[in-house]
Amino acid sequence: MRITISDVAALAKVSTATVSYVLNDSNRVSKKTRERVLWAVEELGYQPNALAQGLVKDQTRNIALVIPDTAESVFSDPFFPELLKGIGTLVAREGYFLLLSLMSAAEDFSSILSTMISQRRVDGVILASTPRDSEVVTQVRHGKLPFTIIGPCFLSDVHSIDIDNEEGAYRAAKHLIELGHRQIGYVTGDMRFDYAVQRYRGFQRALEQEGLSSSHVYMGDATPLSGQRGAKYLIESDQGITAIACASDMVAYGVMTTARDLGYRVPADLSVIGFDDISLAQQSEVKLTTIRQPISRLGYLASENLIARLKQRNKKIEPTRQIIETELVVRDSTAPPSNVRGD
Amino acid sequence: MRITISDVAALAKVSTATVSYVLNDSNRVSKKTRERVLWAVEELGYQPNALAQGLVKDQTRNIALVIPDTAESVFSDPFFPELLKGIGTLVAREGYFLLLSLMSAAEDFSSILSTMISQRRVDGVILASTPRDSEVVTQVRHGKLPFTIIGPCFLSDVHSIDIDNEEGAYRAAKHLIELGHRQIGYVTGDMRFDYAVQRYRGFQRALEQEGLSSSHVYMGDATPLSGQRGAKYLIESDQGITAIACASDMVAYGVMTTARDLGYRVPADLSVIGFDDISLAQQSEVKLTTIRQPISRLGYLASENLIARLKQRNKKIEPTRQIIETELVVRDSTAPPSNVRGD
DNA sequence: TATCGGGGCTTAAACGGTTAAGGCACTAAG
DNA sequence: CTTAGTGCCTTAACCGTTTAAGCCCCGATA
């Protein structure tokens, strides 16, 4: 049998109430008694039972991380581990625990999710990489728990945090234009996700602003494979494309390998720019120019937002939508096009 | 306020005990009453509070997944997401929830771990990618909870599951030898982990069995970067190496990129074989020959083992060590060496 | 001296379930 | 007509905490 508060109380020769007061709100107890209690706690190695504590306080100190991604992309993309790192850091520091809920693992995800919420297994929820029109958001909202969304979100009364995808992609395209490129291709991500749509829009805006054609586009799905196909398609369509912007680094990776296979040197014959700045991008033979998004920071801030609200309990905090800026990181995969260089 | 068992009892005009009996052990209640109770449950959308239930039953239905990896490797390696997939599948199916505990996220990991255990937040623990000599194992064992280890483990009274690393690496080397290679290099993983040591031994055994030199070795750390360095080192040492075996696919990836940079074509001038069979390996321009380890299956079986024991409660189950076989997957990155092909 | 105030502890009632034990009504057996 | 047995439900104790309310004692005040 485990050590309970009664064992401590007996050893310290006080009631369980006193022990509890010492442990929670210690200035109500005399110094002498408090020390005796703390000694007993130490002596027995007492730790309060989280369930009993939670039952009376109506809190679990658990936070759910929900990834309702239908695709495998969460798993092949290093996005997820990075995010987890940021979330895990703050959650651990604040004395919370992380309950992981992966859609891909479950036959009936929505029932598992609602079970988790209505059984009160968590105090709050972090929602990441939700596809557009996902009913998961509705469901979580219905659970009446505080929750924070990481990624695009168009609901006004919801706390969310995201990077500026549109602006990021705009900067990427702008960078290529400033290098002198005029025929620029684009390989999209999975357009069922809003981030992919937003990035595509940023690309488009930059090109149209300069009066360039933004029609060299391949619809991909965020995998390296779609990058390979995209590169093949764009290069072989033979419209003199000298640069390809990509919706993600993984896509850019695929683009680069195929470009090389087709005899194009990067960046001499073809400039490639990615989006994300995953660590792999710095380990490829041609270091990828990309748009850095602070993924783990995103996770950190989301947990911070959620935990702050959990601490307040009743006091309402006004819903916020935080947008984190991205950053252009110039490495080796982009250069002026050969005709410009020649001049 | 939430709906409790009393609300259901009131609506169904029975005592809370009856409701509980219906929900748990329904053949003790008359059909008529049972139906009325079930109707009330449905009507109110009642879900039992997990904390209250856990308190009296002394179980949480939470399982901890502990990754005490110090290195970043868990995050850059796709091993982790795959594992999660396997674990998540069974855990969800059995009505458990997954509590994630990542070392890299925590300042004081061991205190977080012991808190989690002694506060009784979980019923059991799955331990993955534990480095050799990690005190985490001791700590978990001290918690007196059932736990299962994924990966190498030399303790006899512990449940563990692993792949046959030694045999896998042996097969990889054997494959190269059978193709006709005689000068074979090896890039190791992070040798602080036993899996890396075991794989290295398998490689060594195969070569020594054939009377070949097993001294062309580069000590890596499981990253693509160390693969790049390893390739450079092995090729430039100029001992006529025609093939390189790698401790992991990520390493093999690095080896291939550098080999190509140095003007070696894969597999014409250099054969490369990996280990893991991660999905990226099939998306590279030269599809990687590798040793497949069923990572997600490993996770699945580990959870299966743990959950089976949780269901038994008191009845002891004899500790087992399961070893899963690996499989050679021949793709495009290996071929006979040019001198042999020439004949 | 009686009253009051307050510090410092304890008592006991929650929290929301489970489950052993008991009670009640009815039927079958002696 | 009692007794025993059985099916079905309820009562109440319990799990391990927290916390409002109460009690006791002591010193200060009137």
Q: The CATH number of the domain where A260 resides is what?
A: 3.40.50.2300
Does the residue A53 lie in any domain?
Answer: no
Residues B289 and B299 reside in one and the same domain? no
Residues B204 and B338 reside in one and the same domain? yes
- pLDDT of A72 reads 54
Residues B315 and B337 reside in one and the same domain? no
Distance in angstroms (rounded) separating the CA atoms of residues A127 and A111: 16
Q: How many residues does chain A have?
A: 343
- pLDDT of A341 reads 47
Is B133 in contact with B68 (CB distance < 8 Å)? no
Show residues of chain A in contact with B91, CB under 8 Å: 105
- pLDDT of A46 reads 97
Q: In the predicted model, what is the mean pLDDT of chain A?
A: 90
Given a cut of 80, whether residue A339 has pLDDT beyond it is no
- The amino acid at B142: H
Distance in angstroms (rounded) separating the CA atoms of residues B274 and B287: 11
Residues A292-308 have pLDDT tens digits of: 999 889 999 999 999 99
Given a cut of 60, whether residue A180 has pLDDT beyond it is yes
Residues B333 and B226 reside in one and the same domain? yes
Number of domains in chain A: 3
The residue to which tokens 């390493």 are assigned:
B251
Is B121 in contact with B59 (CB distance < 8 Å)? no
| Token representation of residue B2 | 């939430």
Distance in angstroms (rounded) separating the CA atoms of residues A132 and A124: 21
Residues B143 and B92 reside in one and the same domain? yes
Give A103 or A120, the one with higher predicted confidence. A120
Residues A32 and A107 reside in one and the same domain? no
Distance in angstroms (rounded) separating the CA atoms of residues A305 and B168: 47
- pLDDT of B135 reads 81
**pLDDT string in tens for chain B (343-residue length):** 689 999 999 999 999 999 999 999 778 899 999 999 999 999 999 999 999 999 999 999 999 999 876 545 555 667 777 888 899 999 999 999 999 998 766 668 888 999 999 999 999 999 988 877 778 888 898 888 999 999 988 888 899 999 999 999 999 999 999 999 999 999 999 998 899 999 999 999 999 999 999 899 999 988 888 999 999 999 998 789 999 999 999 899 899 989 988 989 999 999 999 999 987 777 677 899 999 999 889 999 999 999 999 998 766 788 999 999 999 999 999 999 987 544 3
Residues B285 and B173 reside in one and the same domain? yes
B267 prior amide bond cis, ω within 30: yes
pLDDT-based confidence at residue A130 (cuts at 50, 70, 90): confident
Q: How far is the CA of A30 from the C1' of C9 (A)?
A: 9
Does the residue A57 lie in any domain?
Answer: no
HSE, CB side, 13 Å, CA atoms: give it for residue A318: 3
Q: Which of A251, A274, A245, A66 is nearest to A151 (CA)?
A: A66
CB of B21 lies under 7 Å from some atom of strand D: yes
From residues 7-46 of A, list those within 7 angstroms of strand D by Cβ.
16-17, 19-21, 23-25, 46
The residue to which tokens 């990690």 are assigned:
B134
Q: Which of A308, A101, A340 is nearest to B65 (CA)?
A: A101
Which stretch, A105-119, A162-176, B281-295, B300-314, has highest mean pLDDT?
Answer: A162-176
Does the residue A120 lie in any domain?
Answer: yes
**CATH classification of the domain holding B38:** 1.10.260.40
Distance in angstroms (rounded) separating the CA atoms of residues B235 and B244: 9
Residues A129 and A108 reside in one and the same domain? yes
pLDDT-based confidence at residue A105 (cuts at 50, 70, 90): low
For residues A137-166, average pLDDT: 91
Q: Which of A236, A182, A166 is nearest to A214 (CA)?
A: A182
The residue to which tokens 């794989």 are assigned:
B199
Q: How far is the CA of B30 from the C1' of D5 (A)?
A: 18
Is A124 in contact with A147 (CB distance < 8 Å)? yes
Show residues of chain A in contact with B223, CB under 8 Å: 283
Distance in angstroms (rounded) separating the CA atoms of residues A217 and B103: 42
Distance in angstroms (rounded) separating the CA atoms of residues B219 and B222: 9
Q: How many residues does chain B have?
A: 343
Does the residue B53 lie in any domain?
Answer: no
Distance in angstroms (rounded) separating the CA atoms of residues A115 and B99: 16
Is B234 in contact with B272 (CB distance < 8 Å)? no
Residues A226-238 have pLDDT tens digits of: 999 999 999 998 7
Q: Does B84 contact A102 at a Cβ distance shorter than 8 Å?
A: yes
Residues A287 and A189 reside in one and the same domain? yes
Distance in angstroms (rounded) separating the CA atoms of residues B242 and B257: 16
For residues A30-56, average pLDDT: 96
Residues B287 and B303 reside in one and the same domain? no
Q: Does A285 contact B258 at a Cβ distance shorter than 8 Å?
A: yes
Does the residue A31 lie in any domain?
Answer: yes
Q: What is the DSSP string of B305-316?
A: HHHHHHHHTTS-
Residues B265-275 have pLDDT tens digits of: 999 999 999 99
Q: For the sheet containing A217-218, what is the strand order?
A: A217-218, A184-187, A243-246, A271-273
**A314–B contact, CB cutoff 8 A:** no
Task: Annotate A304-315 with b (16+ C-beta within 10 A) or e (fewer).
Answer: bbbbebbeeeee
The residue to which tokens 């995103």 are assigned:
A298
Q: How far is the CA of A60 from the C1' of C7 (A)?
A: 33
Reading phi first (left if > 0) and then psi (alpha if -120 to 50, else beta), residue A275 is in beta
CA distance A281 to chain B (A): 11
Q: In sequence order, what are the beta bridge partners of A39?
A: none
Residues A172 and A188 reside in one and the same domain? yes
Is B173 in contact with B203 (CB distance < 8 Å)? yes
**Other CB atoms within 10 Å distance of the CB of residue A211:** 7
Give A51 or B278, the one with higher predicted confidence. A51
pLDDT-based confidence at residue A278 (cuts at 50, 70, 90): confident
Report if pTM > 0.85.
yes
- pLDDT of A2 reads 86
- pLDDT of B343 reads 39
Q: Does B100 contact A98 at a Cβ distance shorter than 8 Å?
A: yes
Is A136 in contact with A113 (CB distance < 8 Å)? yes
**Where in the sequence is the domain holding A230, given as residue range(s)?**
165-293+329-342
Does the residue A230 lie in any domain?
Answer: yes
Distance in angstroms (rounded) separating the CA atoms of residues B260 and A315: 61
Residues B92 and B118 reside in one and the same domain? yes
Does the residue A54 lie in any domain?
Answer: no
Distance in angstroms (rounded) separating the CA atoms of residues B271 and B265: 9
CB of B25 lies under 7 Å from some atom of strand C: yes
CB < 8 Å from B in window 81-140 of A: 81-82, 84-85, 87-89, 91-93, 97-102, 104-107, 112, 115-116, 118-121
Task: Annotate B43-72 with b (16+ C-beta within 10 A) or e (fewer).
Answer: eeebbbbbbbbbbeeebbbbbbbbbbbebe
CB of A258 lies under 7 Å from some atom of strand C: no
- pLDDT of B315 reads 67
Does the residue A170 lie in any domain?
Answer: yes
